[in-house]
Structure 1
Amino acid sequence: MSSVSGTGTVSSAGVGSGLDVESIVTKLVAIESQPITTLKTAESKLQTQLSEWGKVKSALSDLNDAAQKLTLPSTWSATTATSSDTTAVNVSTDSKAVAGSYSISVTALAAAQTLASAPQTAATATLGAGTLHIQVGAWNSDQSTFTAKSGTAAVDVTISATDTLNDIRDKINAASPNVKASVVTDTSGSRLVLRGTTGATNGFTVGVDDGDGNNTDAAGLSALAYDPSSSVASMTQTQAAANSAATINGLPVSGTTNTLTAIDGLTIQLSKLTSAVDVNVKQDTDAVSKSINTFVTAYNALQSLLATDVKYDAGTKTAGPLQGDNTAVSLQNQIRAVMGGSSSASSVYTRMSDIGLAIQTDGTVKVDSTKLTSALGSNPTEVKKMFMTYSSNGASTSDGFAQRFRVYSDNLLGVNGAVTTRTSGIQKSITNSDKRQQQLQDQVDAYEKRIRAQYTALDTAMAKLNTQSSYVSQMITAWNKS
């Protein structure tokens, strides 16, 4: 417990004087600190404003992205294809496709040459040692002539006497990129099946160097030999290599696979023979409509955010975080003015409401899907102009709406843009506030140290006086007794 020594030294503030020094100092420091408290309260509001402007920048960036997409030719050139018989002909499009109609007949499907060996007792059966030579190429119509494919060489596969059908399959698959093997077991036994890739130029021969010395007798490894041009056919051909064949609007086309790319921008997948399939390619208005709706969603998100930020609720007497912020109020009014303005970019549609994008009383936009679909279906070119036209001479009145929003948001978010400048200003105010608070805190700390020293001195003086008073009282009492 604090006390006063006989020499009058104070070991705890307030003991010598009897004053509540700690309480006095705390209250005095609190009064001195009030400017810091005021600055902290103001800075808290600034931090809230800075955070809210961050949300506005993000929403504005989303609007910029959505507007940017509507200024891209690829957005408006997207196409979709329909087929009258998707089980026979399926069609997909890419950015190069143009609108058009086609009649497609399929006269042949691409096929891969397939060979099957004679049945063996099991997949674990062995055939004997030797080497297989697999060569890819093309057969003539009766397989009397084989022409090796340009740029290819025979693939050699070494087989040992202990290799089973399964082992032979695995070795072929590891060595040959163009011919794949499998083992098929049916009621007759297990067969090695070889299959090439589709297309007439992807047929193949199988030559054999049989370890038993006879390469053509169908015994030992020569059971896998196949080269009709040399009168060797130990394996049975179950399917010949063939190209696909079709006519498109009467013009013959063919390919080594059942996927044709004879028309720029179209991928045609053939699945079965058919006399005629109608294919129609048109602008993908659903994709465009989705992009427009994404743009409207981004606009509404920004408009709603700003409306919440700048409003004042008289009922609850609460203000939005940016209430009274001129930049925010101006931004809210300007984007609404851009959306509700007119443009001469299209000779048919001059306002957003003309295609079903109507501004509501709260500033947001409501999409009339029926009206938008009708505009895209009846006059997609003019809708495109309405959004993406850009005037090279700087006449903004003839710019499309997406171009206007893109340029407008770019300017706002630029280095010297209003949004960037506003957020930079708030951040600077926060930085200055931090510096001022630190300066004031240093002053408060010095003030506290000074008054503590003063009260300590007071305590010491009072302690000495109290000690002297006690001593004098004791002496007087002693004198009176004597």
Structure 2
Amino acid sequence: MATISSLGLGSGLDVESIITKLMTVEQQPINQINTRTTGLKTKLSTYGQIQSSLSTLRDAASKLTNPDTWAGTKATASDSTAISVTASSGAAIGSATLSVSQLAASQTLASTTFSSSTATVGQGSLTIELGTWGTDVDGASTFTAKSGATAVTINIGPGQDQLSQVRDQINAAGAGVTASIVTDATGSRLTLTSRNSGESNAFRVTVADADGNAGDAAGLSQLAYDPSTSVSQMSLTLPAANARAILNGLPISSESNSLSSAIDGLNIILLKTIPPTQPVMLNVTQDADAIKKAITDFTTAYNAVNQLLRSQTKVDTSKLTANMSTDDVASLQAARAASLQGDSAALGIQNRLRGIAGGVTSLGGSLTRLADVGLAPGSDGNLPTAGAKLDKALTKLDDLKQFFMGVDSTNDSNSGFAVRIRSMVDQALSVDGTVTSRQKGIQSQIDSNNKSVESLSDRAASTEARLRAQYAALDTKMSQLSSLSNYLTQQITQLNK
């Protein structure tokens, strides 16, 4: 076949221009289908956005139909500097009084003063044992080992006997105490504090001193503490103690300042002592703030769906722009760009949502329509997200609960608003629902268009090849005729001489 550049040389015709124009005509159906496919892909993408937006709305509606949302409680204390209180599931609505005579504390010991943190203490072994201090009938100190706890022995050998090294070995031993060094102008002291507060987490320290004398104030014996044997070189700076309180007139004791089981569903943290003459009031109420947030999340999700559908189903108003200013015309561009203009499925979803928002229910007592809770749809179809009416409705939580999550088994259209919205969205997003079916239909059209383009492209390629072959043959024939014409002209010229 002749090359593109050689076509037309024999005939003098602009063959390339002719073929290009003919192929432009052949390409028109392909271009039209591609344009339609682009529009379909835009629609499919928009339906993906609708699906996502509806899923968010369904989740928000489901939260309002979940009994746990309405069963949430909030706990407060009349003096938050004395008591910190939080409520969890199971907390009963009500109140309680609390006074605190003693906070829980961890036992703390302090050694005598050393010259520095690198001062040598001594070698030997330390044994730390958790338990409870008490007194016998004669007033002498007694120690009862903690049930389930094991005494821990720490060996202090050569090169390990500086004060800071002893501290580090105690902390690494897992003996239930924390060692620290406190340094001031007088020198450095080792402090030992039980990791957990409470009387049963007190501890004693017995020493096996390498110098052979575990009862003197030299060597490792300086860290001994056992009042039950009268061997105590360390000083008690803070005794282990249980928290002691009066809750609703009942005495309670706790090893920690966190009372997590005193009242079901409440975690109470004691921050300071409270005199019995001025008890702190604990109040547990229904958590209206959490319910308000759930309602606000619901209206926000509803508005997102409404705005998306509204923007994508706008009617094309291009015919109205003839006498408009440039600014007015620009304001209508979004309408022209709407990808779901006239889409019956999208319009159907929009209308069903608006129908529910404009409906009523008899299950919410005095609350019958969205306007009663300050959520009346505006001119754009959006619901307000806050207002005085909603705050007032939150004082009628039983009615408000039924308003959103009540179920009428005989009349679905009378069920609560969140129930109806969730049901409608469930249908739209189901396997055979409006959105899913529309997505499948659009994808089917795209697939069909792609096959048509493939077929038409093959046909166009065949047409171009055929045209080039035909014009190549014409070019050859025209070249032959031109040569014959030239020959005849030469012969006639010779005859006329």
56-65 vs 129-138, which moves further: 56-65
349-358 vs 145-154, which moves further: 349-358
> Are 2:200 and 1:207 equivalent residues in the alignment?
no
Instruction: Give the alignment partner of residue 298 of structure 2, picking from 268, 282, 295.
Output: 295
Instruction: Give the alignment partner of residue 419 of structure 2, picking from 403, 410, 417.
Output: 403
Instruction: Give the alignment partner of residue 9 of structure 2, picking from 4, 8, 15.
Output: 15
Instruction: Give the alignment partner of residue 176 of structure 2, picking from 156, 175, 178.
Output: 178
Query: Match of 2:282, SS?
Result: strand
Aligned residues, how many? 472
Deviation at 1:331, TM superposition (A): 1.1
Please list, as runs of the form range in 1=range in 2, the aligned pairs for 1:301-380 lying within 5 A after superposition. 301-312=304-315, 313=317, 314-315=320-321, 316=329, 318-319=335-336, 320-367=338-385, 369-377=387-395, 379-380=396-397
> Are 2:145 and 1:148 equivalent residues in the alignment?
yes
- Give the letter for the 2:284 counterpart: V
Normalized against structure 2, the TM-score is what?
0.91
Would you say the 8 A contact 1:358–1:367 is kept in 2? no
1:132 alignment partner in structure 2 = 126
**25 and 177 in structure 1: CA distance in 2 versus 1, 3 angstrom threshold:** farther
- Give the letter for the 2:181 counterpart: V
1:277 alignment partner in structure 2 = 280
Please list, as runs of the form range in 1=range in 2, the aligned pairs for 1:39-58 lying within 5 A after superposition. 39-58=33-52
1:167 alignment partner in structure 2 = 165
Q: Distance in 2 between matches of 1:127 and 1:302?
A: 74
Identity of aligned residues (%): 48
Deviation at 1:397, TM superposition (A): 3.6
Q: Distance in 2 between matches of 1:80 and 1:152?
A: 38
Q: Deviations over 1:303-361 (max 9, x none)?
A: 12111111123445754211111111111111011111112332332212111111112
Normalized against structure 1, the TM-score is what?
0.94
Dislocated runs of 4+, deviation >4 Å: none
Q: Distance in 2 between matches of 1:465 and 1:279?
A: 113
Deviation at 1:101, TM superposition (A): 1.1
243-252 vs 135-144, which moves further: 135-144
Query: Match of 2:490, SS?
Result: helix
360-369 vs 144-153, which moves further: 360-369
Please list, as runs of the form range in 1=range in 2, the aligned pairs for 1:108-123 lying within 5 A after superposition. 108-123=102-117
Structure 1 residue ranges without an equivalent (≥5): 4-9
Q: Distance in 1 between matches of 2:36 and 2:164?
A: 81
Deviation at 1:136, TM superposition (A): 0.4
Query: Match of 2:183, SS?
Result: strand
Q: Distance in 1 between matches of 2:399 and 2:132?
A: 54
Q: Deviations over 1:458-481 (max 9, x none)?
A: 000011111122222223333444
Instruction: Give the alignment partner of residue 157 of structure 1, picking from 134, 137, 154.
Output: 154
1:98 alignment partner in structure 2 = 92
Would you say the 8 A contact 2:85–2:267 is kept in 1? yes
CA root-mean-square deviation: 1.8
1:6 alignment partner in structure 2 = none
Would you say the 8 A contact 1:344–1:397 is kept in 2? no
Deviation at 1:177, TM superposition (A): 4.4
Structure 2 residue ranges without an equivalent (≥5): 322-328
Deviation at 1:371, TM superposition (A): 1.1
Q: Distance in 2 between matches of 1:417 and 1:64?
A: 14
> Are 2:454 and 1:454 equivalent residues in the alignment?
no
1:7 alignment partner in structure 2 = none
Would you say the 8 A contact 1:356–1:371 is kept in 2? yes
Q: Distance in 2 between matches of 1:77 and 1:201?
A: 38
> Are 2:486 and 1:470 equivalent residues in the alignment?
yes
- Give the letter for the 1:26 counterpart: T
Q: Distance in 1 between matches of 2:425 and 2:8?
A: 66
Query: Match of 1:123, SS?
Result: coil
- Give the letter for the 2:150 counterpart: A
Q: Distance in 1 between matches of 2:405 and 2:384?
A: 21
Query: Match of 2:253, SS?
Result: strand
Query: Match of 1:198, SS?
Result: coil
Q: Distance in 2 between matches of 1:226 and 1:39?
A: 93
Q: Distance in 1 between matches of 2:307 and 2:357?
A: 14
Would you say the 8 A contact 1:53–1:423 is kept in 2? yes
Q: Deviations over 1:43-68 (max 9, x none)?
A: 12211211211111111111111101
Deviation at 1:74, TM superposition (A): 2.1
2:324 alignment partner in structure 1 = none
Would you say the 8 A contact 1:126–1:161 is kept in 2? no
Q: Deviations over 1:153-189 (max 9, x none)?
A: 1111111243210000000000024101001112332
Query: Match of 1:170, SS?
Result: helix
Please list, as runs of the form range in 1=range in 2, the aligned pairs for 1:427-438 lying within 5 A after superposition. 427-438=443-454
